Structure 1
């Protein structure tokens, strides 16, 4: 099975512009993400996908593989789809690796990719049982529910299921799952979902994966207890530096 790792990286982050190029103890964030992902035992190739010349030059400087993509993409999935359509090599699976996780754990990547040995899996993502009550009402913590085969039924910024009958102890009433935004797709499916029209449901929740569910695609959910802090805003840098 040939697997391509894609690290989407853009300069114009609304909450932290230029974060891909910040210095983290002698290496830029994009270099640390690249080197961490490179340790995966399952990746055939790894490439950074960017629309910015500064990020492109930095990846070339440290010897990584980089692809220039269009600037109009709204999601990392769309950027991954352009990469797979552009590269001359053929890949069976593509994994979308977050460009803001300089402490990326290769074991986490491998656990997600392993499920593609099952031919019925088209899209896969990660989730964790590590969740606090405050996360249930935090719209930035995405919650999800799964069926008996661990296929996603729904993702939401609200608490799903609703804990109206939890008598003040929702986490003791139901095993809530928190989404971890790492995705992998079969290449053909990636090409298909990148052509789907946005849906009202997706736009209301601002969650692109709801588009895939709406159009009938199945998302396999892999539970993990491996978590690494990401850098979303400048205040997150201090937390990450403690691990370096």
Structure 2
């Protein structure tokens, strides 16, 4: 199977404008994401999907692949769907699986792409997977920028929220989990997803995967072996930089 890994990124983040080009250890964050993801042994092609010329030019300057997309997309997955069709036409190639890695996940390890894709390769019924991480402390659990998720006994997602779920006041020993934004789609499922109308809870929570759940479909959550933190604010940037510095030491 041919696997396309896409990194959607844009400069207009409401919480942290210009975030993809913010520097971590002397390099733009989007560079860390691209270079880490591009090392994946399972990906056929890795590319950044963006509507911003600055990001496009930077990725090209480091010898990477980038795609210019429309600026109208509200959801990263919709931007990836457009990029998929652009790249298939340009490369005369059909990609079987599309892996979306958010451009604010600079700690993404190449093996996380394998983790996300493997269940799809093993089970023809699974259409979309999403990596699952453990929440380590109450501060992260209460952080609205951290997307919490609760799962059923099959590890299919039941709900995603920026609010603290499940209720810790009633079940203090229940494990807390977060969405890690490495998401794998079967090609045709991604294109089907983009044709579905946005849903009420998707808009309220501002989470792509709620569109899947509200239309009555499943998202298989896949526990990751790797500890990662997304960058949503300048304070997150400093935290991630400290962690990455320790990793490099």
**TM-score normalised over the length of structure 2:** 0.88
Q: Check conservation: 2:69, 2:79, Cα contact below 8 A.
A: yes
In structure 2, the partner of 1:215 is 215
CA-based RMSD: 1.9
What's the counterpart of residue 126 of structure 1? 131
State the distance in 2 between where 1:147 and 1:25 align. Answer: 39
Residue correspondence of structure 1 range 1-244 to structure 2 within 5 A: 1-87=1-87, 88=89, 89-117=93-121, 118-163=123-168, 165-166=170-171, 170=172, 172=173, 174-242=174-242, 243-244=244-245
Mean Cα deviation higher: 97-106 or 126-135:
126-135
Distance 1:12 1:56 in 2: 14
- Say how many residue pairs are matched: 239
Distance 2:206 2:10 in 1: 19
SS at match of 1:194: helix
Q: Which has the larger radius of gyration?
A: 1
The runs of 5 or more residues in structure 2 that have no matched partner are none
Give the conservation status (yes or no) of the 8 Å contact 2:7–2:100: yes
TM-score by structure 1 length?
0.89
Distance 1:24 1:142 in 2: 23
| Cα separation, partners in 2 of 1:138 and 1:62, compared to 1, 3 Å | closer
SS of equivalent to 2:195? coil
Q: 1:228 to 1:144 in 2, by over 3 A?
A: closer
Deviation at 1:163, TM superposition (A): 4.3
Counterparts of 2:237 and 2:164, CA distance in 1: 28
Shift of 1:134: 4.0
> How far apart are the structure 2 equivalents of 1:47 and 1:141?
25
